[in-house]
Structure 1
Amino acid sequence: MLADFDAQPGRVVPPSPDLSPTQREADEAELYAGLRGVAGIVAGGGGAMDLLRDVAEFAAQAIPGAEGVGIALIDPQHGLSSVRTWVATAVLVQEIDTVQYSELHEGPCITCMESRRPTVSGSLGSDSRWPHFGGRVARMRMHSALALPLLVGDQVIGSINAYAKSRDAFADHAVQLGSQFAKPAAVSIYNAQLLATAHEQTLRLQRALDSRSVIDQAVGIIRSRTGGNADDAFERLTQISQSENVKLHTVAERLVDEAARRARARHR
C-alpha cells in the first residue's frame, strides 16, 4: 500500500530499488526498536527535553535514509507562528530549521503541519513549493527532506523533520515507516507535555501556598506588636512593599526571618 503523502510537484522520482527481504526485515526491526523505545520513555520518568532527545534519536533510527532529525513543537496558545525546533540529532538540522521557522517562514515542516500530511522533497533546490528555503538548504548540501506531522486526534502539536544529503533519499517505504513511528511518538510527546504542565502548575500552587503562609505569619507578627486587626496589619505590609518596590511575599519573609532571629537571640 502506498503511503499517503505530499510529493514534490513535477519531479520524476527514480524508481526505488526493490528491497530484499533481508533489508525490509532490517528496516522493520529498526522501526520496532524505535517504537519500543518511544513506548518506554514516558514511563521512564525523565524530563520533557530528555524525552524529545530520545524521540529524535529513535526517529533517526526508524526512518530509512535519515541523516539528521529534528523535533519541532507548536505552542498551542500561539499556533503555527510559534513553532520551533527543540532538539536535533545534528547541528546542521538545527540551523536548517532555524532558517525555516525564524527567517523564511516556509519549508516542508511548515507545509506538513498545515496539511497534516507527510511532506517529501527529493531535490530541495528545485522544489517550487519553497523557492527561498529550498535553494538556501541546497547550498547547505542537504537535498532531501521528509516532514511528518505529529498528530494527537485533530490537533497538530509539531513535526518530525528528517533530512538527507543525497537526492530522493526518502522513498515510499521510508514515508510508511516514518508515519508508523510518528503516531505513537506524537502521543508520547503530548503526554510528556501534559505531565510537565501539571508539574509546573503544582509548583506554582505550592509557591502560592508558601507565599500565603509567610504573609499570614507576617500579619500575625505585626498584630502582636501593634495590637491592630488583620486588615491593618496587611495594609502595613502592603505599604512597605510599595514604598520599597519589593514584592509583598519578600517583605513578609524578611519580617518573619527577623522575628525568628530575635527569638533565637532571646533563647540564647
Structure 2
Amino acid sequence: MTEPTDPTPASSDAAAAVALDTAQDQAAEDDTDLRDSLAGLSRLTLGLTGLADMLTHVAEFAAGAIPGADGAGLTLLSEDWPDTVVASAEFVRQVDEIQYGLGEGPCITAAAEGRTVSSGSLGGDMAWPRFGPRAGRLGVHSVMSLPLVGADGVLGSLNVYSHTKDAFDDRAIELGELFAIPAGFSAHSAQELDTARRLAAQLETALTSRAVIDRAIGIMMSRSGCTAAEAFDKLRVISQTENTKLALVAQRVLDEAVRRARARRAER
C-alpha cells in the first residue's frame, strides 16, 4: 500500500503565494474604502444639512470604511449622557436604544473610559451581561465602539456593528481608530457650528420679540398716557396672569391696534 505523500514544496509555495496575494488585495481594497470614506468626510458641511443629518453621514462613512461592518451609529454626549444619537441603519438604532435604556453597553464604556472596546460574541459577553444577550437576540454579534475626541476631550462615541461573529480583527480596529480621529473633529466642528447657529436664531428671535414689545409699549402709552415703565408692567402682569409669553401678549396688543385701525378706515 502506497503511503500518502506530503505536498511538494512547489505546491506549498504556490498556495502561500495565492494566500499572500489575496491578503494584499484585501488590504488594498480596505485602504481604498478608508480613503474614500475620509474624502467624503472632508466634504461634509453643516451649511447644507442639519446636525443630525451630518452626523448620520459620518456614521455611513464609518460603515463603509471599516471592514466587516454592517452598520454604524454615532452618539454625542451632553453632561455625560446621550444627547444626539444617529444611525446608518435601523438595526443600529434599535441596538443603541437598548444600551442607552439599560445604561450599559460598549458605546457607554468607550465614551466613559475614552478607549476602544470590541466584542466578537455579544450574546455571551459578560462585559455587558444585560445588553449583550439582547443584542445577540437581534442577530447582532460583533461590535466595535470608539471614543470620539474633540478639542475639549471625549464628546461621544462611534459604534460599529456586524451580524457576523468575530467580524472585527486587529486590522479592522486599526482602520476604525484611524477613521475615528477625523470623525471626532468633524463631529466637534458640527456641534460647535450647530450651537452657534441656534444661538444666532435665538438672538434674532429675542431682537424681534424686543421690537414687538417696544411697539406694544408705545401703543399702550398713546392710549392711556402712562409711562413706558407702567406700560411694560401692565404687559408683564397680563403675561403672568395668563401664563403667556410676554412677546405673545405684546403681539396681541399690536394685532388689536391693527384691527382697530382697519375698522376705522373702513368706516370712512
Matched, 1:194 2:192: yes
Deviation (angstroms), 1:154: 5.2
1:255 aligns with 2:258: no
Distance 1:140 1:85 in 2: 23
Asked if 2 retains the 8 angstrom alpha-carbon contact of 1:84 and 1:101, the reply is no
Aligned to 1:57: 60
Divergent runs of 4+, >4 A:
none
Alignment partner of 1:224 out of 222, 230, 234: 222
Question: Residue in 1 aligned with 2:101?
Answer: 102
Amino acid at match of 2:108: I
- Paired letter, 1:86: V
Partner of 2:75: 72
The alpha carbon displacement at 1:44 in A equals 5.5
CA distance in 1, matches of 2:141, 2:30: 22
How many residues matched? 247
| 8 Å CA contact retained: 2:52, 2:84 | no
**In structure 2, what residue type is equivalent to 1:88?**
A
Question: Which residue number in structure 2 is paired with residue 13 of structure 1?
Answer: none
What does residue 26 of structure 2 align with? 23
Contact 1:148/1:179, CA 8 A, preserved across alignment: yes
Q: Unpaired runs of 5+ in structure 2?
A: 1-18
Aligned to 2:37: 34
* Partner residue in 1 for 2:169: 171
Separation in structure 2 between the aligned mates of residue 118 and residue 163 of structure 1, nearest angstrom? 14
Query: Deviation per CA, 1:97-136, whole angstroms, max 9, x where unpaired?
Result: 1111112x22221121122121111122232212222222
CA distance in 1, matches of 2:90, 2:192: 28
- TM-superposed CA distance for 1:236, in Å, is 2.0
Residues 154 and 116 of structure 1: CA distance in aligned 2, closer, same or farther (over 3 Å): farther
Q: Alpha carbons of 1:154 and 1:44: their partners in 2 closer, same or farther (altered >3 Å)? A: closer
Residue 129 of structure 1 aligns to a residue whose secondary structure is coil
Q: In structure 2, do the counterparts of structure 1 residues 42 and 257 end up closer, same or farther at CA, with 3 Å as the change threshold?
A: same
Alignment map for 1:115-130 (pairs within 5 Å): 115-130=113-128
Matches within 5 A, 1:174-185: 174-185=172-183
**Structure label with greater radius of gyration:** 2
RCO greater where, 1 or 2, for CA within 8 Å and sep 6 or more? 1
User: Does the 8 Å contact 1:85/1:94 carry over to 2?
Assistant: no
Matched to 2:69, the amino acid is A
Deviations 1:15-72 (A, max 9, x none): xx86622211111111011101111112663211110111111111000000121112
1:48–1:193 CA contact under 8 A, matched in 2: yes
Query: For the residues of structure 1 that align with 2:40 and 2:104, how far apart are their CA atoms?
Result: 32
* Aligned alpha-carbon RMSD (Å): 1.9
Quick check: which one's helix share is greater? Answer: 2
C-alpha contact (below 8 Å) 1:52/1:87 kept by paired residues: yes
CA shift digits 1:76-98 (9 cap, x unpaired): xx21xx22662212222211111
> Residues of 2 paired with 1:227 and 1:128: CA distance?
76
CA distance in 2, matches of 1:47, 1:120: 30
Normalised TM-score (structure 1): 0.86
